[in-house]
Structure 1
């Protein structure tokens, strides 16, 4: 594609549109600019709401594959790639997932998290190589993320994954995008032109973050990683999370501190197991077996124990 072709293509994208009414924004008082940005951001949730049926269908498809051992893999460049890596990196401490279960791929590799890697986003070959390095299977789910919906790295990742039989999701912020068209599940969150022309880390980035929050969080709910709205699979890897673990057991059971400490000790610090120890009145090994037989779902394990 020539520079002229690319310029013409960008000019046609909603996310790249110029807003002449904001041409003097740099002359405004800081508070007025802040108010403008806040008003712009307020419209993002409504744009996401319009895509909720597509988002929920994608989540159900991801959860079904992850139940069978598949992985959730994000692929993007620049801000979109960083958001995917961020979401993936927060799953192990929040839901006690294996680090290989939710993976974020960014064009250019780890270096691209903090600096621009020249030309990486333009390479669909790089996307294929990154997915091949993960030994992609048909049980995996690949989410291509791109504000423009045309980024070769994201589109290439989705096309390659679909050819391998994996579930594919294309998350973009323009209508009729190549990314959504390439994926089995296309999600287009159209938030409109940015306050700063073409700066898609703003509204488009916020929209992508909201959708990624849903994809990972609701998938984990479907996988039994929560009990109600409690993070019962939280990994107690620091003092704050150890305190949170005790609080979660208390909220789920109403037990006193000495009982909570006993249950956590019996359970090797596993919150979900400790809750089952207290609610089902079983010992740690029995609770662990019940959870294993119930696919890790606390409610199902509790029903087995008490029913």
Structure 2
């Protein structure tokens, strides 16, 4: 959360299944939470999202080139079931050299079996999934665990940044009919208003459910609601408390 709050990014990097899961998680953050701070890099580039580019995972130089694009405001998250993927380790080593916080998500639970390059990381998330039913097919248990871990990482980050309120995704971007209906439901639940009032407020808030809910429940115009959210670092709960205190 600190990286995003300070204007940095959370950048995932992986190869094969790990890379595809990284792309999946990062691509779902903007519509769910209205935040573009999560990015994903997959070994072999966009082609590898649909087609296997198996040799790409061995290219530590390519990983390092990607890692050098990070800064000390960013957080680098490498995903590798074995903990040994050259592309991922090259990425993390280069990102560390740029001052980024670096973490590794791995299923390798034996510290002695980890490469020396992992010793200087800021931390590891170890998913001890054990042997696969089909030996070596880490798209199975390891991949499923990685998906859950990345979901938790991105979701917990956005919760800490005020992207939810009482389990509601108040920063959802209503870009289609389904999401607009969801946004209206969120406003109605928080503000206790009918749908026509919620719809008018949503339009007046520039299609921001969070801002619309604050305007209605807090009795504020758009400018004052925006100021309250800014002073509350985007937290709707904190903004309501600030209003209650007068």
User: In the alignment, does 2:86 pair up with 1:152?
Assistant: yes
In 2: Cα distance, 1:170 partner to 1:162 partner: 12
Report the TM-score, using the length of structure 1 for normalisation.
0.76
1:112 to 29, 48, 51: 48
Corresponding residue number in structure 2 for 1:124: 60
Q: 2:229 aligns with which of 263, 276, 291?
A: 291
For the 8 Å contact 1:84–1:212, the answer to whether it is kept is yes
Indicate the residue corresponding to 2:147 in structure 1: 209
Bigger-Rg structure (1/2): 1
How many angstroms does 1:214 deviate by?
0.8
Preserved contact between residue 16 and residue 54 of structure 2 (Cα < 8 Å): no
Q: Deviations over 1:86-113 (max 9, x none)?
A: 1000000000012xx1100000110000
Between Structure 1 and Structure 2, how many residues are aligned?
Answer: 241
Structural mapping, 1:1-307, within 5 Å? 63-98=1-36, 101-132=37-68, 135-175=69-109, 176=111, 177-178=114-115, 180-307=118-245
Task: State the Cα distance separating 1:182 from its structure 2 match.
Answer: 4.5
Q: Would you say the 8 A contact 1:170–1:182 is kept in 2?
A: no
Computed over aligned residues only, the root mean square deviation of the Cα atoms, in angstroms, reads 1.3
CA displacement, residues 247-289 of structure 1 (integer Å, 9 cap, x when unaligned): 1112222211222122112212110001101111112222122
Shift of 1:180: 4.8
- Decide which structure has greater helix share: 1
Which aligned runs of 4 or more in structure 1 are off by greater than 3 angstroms?
Answer: 179-182
Distance 1:72 1:141 in 2: 5
Distance 1:250 1:155 in 2: 48
Partner of 2:164, secondary structure, is coil
Structure 1 unmatched runs, 5+: 1-62
Higher relative contact order (CA 8 A, sep 6+): 1
Contact 2:65–2:91, Cα closer than 8 Å, also in 1 = no
